[in-house]
Amino acid sequence: MELTTAWFWLIAILWIGYFVLEGFDFGVGALLFVLGRDEPERRAILRTIGPVWDGNEVWVLVAGGATFAAFPEWYASLFSGFYLALFLLLVALIVRGVAIEYRNKREDARWRWRCDVAISVASAVPALLWGVAFANIVQGVPLDAHHEFTGNLVTLLNPYALVGGLTTLTLFLTHGAMFLGLKTDGVIRRRANALASRTGLLAAAVALAFLAWTQQVNGDPGSLAASALAALALVGALVANRLGREAWAFAGTALTIVLAVVALFVALYPDVLPSTTDPAFGLTTTNAASTPYTLGIMTGVAVVFTPLVLLYQGWTYWVFRRRVTAEAVHEDEPSGLPTAS
């Protein structure tokens, strides 16, 4: 396998890791007021992601850095053309992080309520925008002969991209509800399980429409097979949730996200950013890549450090594996976001 192809799929794996892990973070945050009816319940909900949310965000930094180093032309066209959308996404991530970290720094109910609103909104916005961004990448955007984006924000908000955004939003909501069903007990657990069944049906309908549309836009047999498996995984997750098998349900939504991202990257390859102006102006794994020497050095670094990062993050999830209950959350906890015990 050529290094350009290897790095294309390594970047795909990084995005898969980000969407699987940060996906349930986004879902948990967006459902904060839906599943948390009072302060102890909302504290318990945030406690489920307290030890891991910032580690989950590292995946997007690594994915962006890998894109910059391995495919600088792709990075330049993508981050300059999608500048305003990515700026809004970055603001949402910053607001979300600040609100999570500072909500318990003041013993003020109004302050906490404002932080909770910020967490909820700033979790839903990226969940929507990431789908919009990736749908545009797969569909293609207007690029000129110099690989410069010639559209605007309205160009990115086309019907196909908006359906992609609704797909990621509903999938992440379902994934987050499944995670809360797995990580909590008592009334929050029951609410999360019930909500996961409802949002899951909505996600299934939207995702089916989006993946079918993707086949019309830029599909092939490989992406069709991955899309079909993603649909089966989501159905399996919903069945497992109805049967009370929460671990299998969460694994099912995680697998759904994995297969959906694989379907998008299979549909995209060997392009990395098609041009709707002229196919000849599009970026591919060949004309957007760094030199073989650069890719070789990066490969060596990735082989050494990737397993270490995976081991560390796996250890973190193992340490904080116990369920959280609202009854165990007390107002006299130390300031700062409470961690799972």
Ranges of each domain in the chain: 23-328
- β-bridge mates for residue 64, sequence order: none
Query: What percentage of the chain has pLDDT greater than the value 70?
Result: 95
Helix or strand run (H / E) with residue 283? strand 283-284
Dist CA 228 CA 25 (whole Å): 26
Mean pLDDT over the full length of the chain = 90
Count Cα neighbours of 176 within 13 Å in the Cβ-side half-sphere.
29
Dist CA 279 CA 142 (whole Å): 10
Range 72-92 burial, b when 16+ CB lie within 10 A, else e: ebbbbbbeebbeebbeebeeb
The answer to whether the predicted template modeling score (pTM) of the entire model surpasses 0.85 is yes
Q: Are 132 and 169 in contact (CB under 8 A)?
A: no
Dist CA 78 CA 139 (whole Å): 13
**Mean pLDDT, residues 174-186 taken together:** 94
Look at the chain and count its residues: 341
Tens digits of per-residue pLDDT, 42-71? Answer: 999 999 998 889 889 989 999 999 999 999
Dist CA 319 CA 52 (whole Å): 11
Tens digits of per-residue pLDDT, 94-108? Answer: 999 999 999 988 888
